[in-house]
Amino acid sequence: MAKENYTLTFSDDEPAPIRRLKDGLLRAKPEPTPIHGKTLTLSERLFDDDAVILDGPSSHWVRYAADNGPSLEIFWEKFRELGIWSKPGGAPFLCIEPWRGFASPADFDGEFFDKPGVMQIAPEAKEILRYRIAIR
């Protein structure tokens, strides 16, 4: 089925602007969200400008489903971003990825350690990030 037959439904409203990539780097300015309330209507054209990146989503789960049939639910804990992407121009897949970090900003020219979004854990400390995928 085409992406237009599917929607992503978030656990919470997602009104915040999204981030996008250009040539593999994070664009300087956020963009208006294509999410209406809790719903992101999918289309092949949605990914013409690369991934849809939620930087600090309100939600902790999302459901991927068509009007009929099974759904896929992805739950996450302690991830700070959510990347949703597919190959620009069309592809028979959709990636829904909880992230902890993202691509370098287009104007960033520093050390990796100083890059925005890098997860830093003190020596001998640990951080537990979880995700779960359910098919219903």
- If one compares 101 and 75, the residue with the highest pLDDT of the two is 75
H or E stretch covering 128? none
Say what the pTM is: 0.89
Tally of CB atoms within 10 A around 115: 15
Structure tokens at 81: 């971003």
What rounded mean pLDDT belongs to the chain?
A: 91
Q: What pLDDT sits at residue 119?
A: 86
Strand-strand pairing, 21-22 and 81-85: unpaired
The predicted-structure confidence for 108-125, as pLDDT tens digits, reads as follows: 888 887 787 788 899 999
Domain range enclosing 109 = 3-135
Residue 94: CATH number of its domain: 2.70.98.10
Confidence label for 127 from pLDDT (cuts 50, 70 and 90): very high
> What is the arithmetic mean of pLDDT over 8-21?
96
Number of C-beta neighbours around residue 95 at 10 A? 12
At 57, is the pLDDT very low, low, confident or very high (cuts 50, 70, 90)? very high
% residues pLDDT > 90 (the chain): 62
First to last CA, the chain: 18
Place of tokens 């099974």: 70
Q: Specify the number of domains making up the chain.
A: 1
pLDDT of amino acid 26? 87
CA distance 58 to 66: 23
Mean pLDDT, residues 9-24: 94
